Amino acid sequence: MSEEKRNEVISKDLMTIPNAISFIRILLITPFVAFFIAGKYITGDYTPAIIVIALSGISDLFDGMIARKFHQESELGKVLDPLADKLTLIAVGVCLIFLEPYVLPLMIIMVLKDVLMIIGGTIVINKGVIPPKSSWYGKASTFMFYISVAMVVGMEIFHYHNETLSLVVLGVTAGMMIFSLINYAIIFFKIQKQLKDKNESSASVQASITGKH
């Protein structure tokens, strides 16, 4: 492939619609935090923050659909999409801690999960392996987190507090996150084993060739 052709492919990858959506989702974090803080300390109205985070969540759904339907999946997109997810979730989680401190344990689990996933992803990338796409359990844990967010904010808006309901929803969300982490850990160790077996096989072949000479 010529250098000109290669640059053309890279440019197309950078300018796909899904990638643009991911960039927009990252940019939406700032107005969400600003509207949330204004709702908490100034206006008492969380509607603008809810609208922004709803737009982010809806755009996340279209992101994947467009990428698959129009074959616009790219290496950059595989990084941007989960990055937008994680940054958004962290921003939302931190805001919720100021609203309801009992969300803190859920945030600790989420941050721990994401940190371990980032470490695992970095390890396999450094070994020349592209991490697998987000699976249904990863999306499910993200969806449950948004449900928790809607519940906590909704209770605050309507001044309705049900500790049992809160614990159940947050417990299910935490359980989904742990389930997701376990499954990603299984995939990580499978990749590690495959790489180890491949290296041992290559070493064996090389030793055999060397022995013949």
Supply the DSSP symbol for 161.
Answer: -
Instruction: Give the per-residue pLDDT at 144.
Output: 82
- Tell me: do 168 and 134 sit in the same domain: yes
For position 26, what pLDDT does the model report?
92
Neighbours of 156 (CB within 10 A): 17
Q: What range defines the domain where residue 49 resides?
A: 1-99
Quick one: 94 and 110 in the same domain?
A: no
DSSP character string of 15-69: T-HHHHHHHHHHHTHHHHHHHHHHIIIII---HHHHHHHHHHHHHHHHHHHHHHH
Start-end of H helices in 127-162: 136-158
In a shared domain, residues 107 and 207: yes
For 162-180, the pLDDT digits (tens) are 778 877 888 888 888 889 8
Using an 8 Å Cβ cutoff, are 144 and 91 in contact? no
Same-domain check for residues 117 and 28:
no
DSSP-assigned letters across all residues of 99-122: H-GGGHHHHHHHHHHHHHHHHHHH
pLDDT tens digits for 44-79? 888 898 889 888 888 877 777 777 776 777 777 777
> Are residue 195 and residue 125 in the same domain, yes or no?
yes
| Same domain (yes/no): 54, 14 | yes
Say yes or no: 129 and 90 in one domain. no
Q: What is the pLDDT of residue 143?
A: 79
- Quick one: 58 and 86 in the same domain? yes
Tell whether 115 and 93 lie within a shared domain.
no
The CA distance from 173 to 140, in Å, is 9
Residues 109 and 196 in one domain: yes
Q: What is the pTM of this model?
A: 0.68
| Domains of the chain: total | 2
The C-alpha atoms of residue 203 and residue 213 are separated, in whole angstroms, by: 16
The residue out of 83, 99, 115 marking a domain boundary is 99
Q: Which residues of 52-72 are buried (b: 16+ CB within 10 A; e: fewer)?
A: bbeebbebbeebbebbeeeeb
Q: Are the CB atoms for 141 and 179 separated by under 8 Å? A: yes
- Mark which of 99, 134, 156 sits at the end of a domain: 99
Do residues 193 and 156 share a domain? yes
> Any idea how long the chain is?
213
Residue ranges for the chain with pLDDT beneath 70? 1-14, 70, 130-134, 200, 202-213
Residue ending a domain, among 75, 99, 123, is: 99
The contacts of residue 132 (CB under 8 Å, 6+ apart) are 187
Residues 211 and 114 in one domain: yes
CB-count burial class (<10 Å; 0-12, 13-18, 19+) for 42: exposed
pLDDT of residue 206: 65
